[in-house]
Amino acid sequence: MAELLQTDRVSVRDWTPDDAEAAFAVYGDTQVTHWLTPAMHQVHDIAAMRSVLQAWAEAQPNLLPPRGRWAIERRTDGQVIGGLGIRLLPPYEEDLELSWQLRADAWGQGYATESSIALVRWAFTQDVDELFAVARPSNERAIATAKRIGMSWVGETTKYYNLRLQVFRIRHSDFD
C-alpha cells in the first residue's frame, strides 16, 4: 500500500518492529488468538512479537497487492488497536482472505468494520474481484463484523485450515 488509509477514526498503516508492545496486546492475548485460524498462534512475549513484525515488514514489499498485513491505529490517541490482513487462503491459494484482529478493549466500537471497509475499498482498486472472510461458527463477533462490512454468507466448509468455518464473501460488484 503506497499510502496510508484513513477513516474518521482510524489509520491503516504498515506494521513496524516499534509496534511490538501494542501488537503484543493483540496477538499475545488468548481472548484474541483463541479465535484466529491456525495460520498464526499466540505470540508469547514482546521480543517474539518484534520478530514477527520484522518478518511482516520484510515480506510486505514482496507481496502482490492487495496482499499484506497492516496495523490499525486509532487517530484520536495514536494507539495501535489491532491489525488487518489480506492473504491467500490455503490449501489452493486462489481465494483472498480478509482478516481483522483487535485488542479486546477495542471490541464493540466499530473499529474492525470501519478499517476493514477502508481496506476492502482499496483492495478493489487493485484488480481484485472478491474477498473472503472465514470465522469459527461460534465467533459471533467476527460473523457480525463480516455482515457489517457487507459480506454475504457463502456456507460452511472444512476446506480452509482443516477447521469447520463459516465463509463470507464480498464482490467488487456488490460493494458500495
DSSP letter string, 76-99 = TT--EEEEEEEEEPTTTS-SEEEE
Burial 136-150 (b: 16+ CB within 10 A, else e): beebeebbebbeebb
Give tens-digit pLDDT for 10-52: 999 999 999 999 999 998 888 887 677 655 566 889 999 999 9
Q: Is the dihedral of CA 136, 87, 102, 17 positive or negative?
A: positive
Q: 98 pLDDT band (50/70/90 cuts)?
A: very high
Q: 176 pLDDT band (50/70/90 cuts)?
A: low
Let me know: does 143 contact 166? Beta carbons within 8 Å. Answer: yes
The x, y and z cell numbers of residue 118, run together, are: 477502508
Q: Which structural domains are found in the chain, ordered by start?
A: 5-174 (3.40.630.30)
Give tens-digit pLDDT for 50-76: 999 999 999 999 999 999 999 999 999
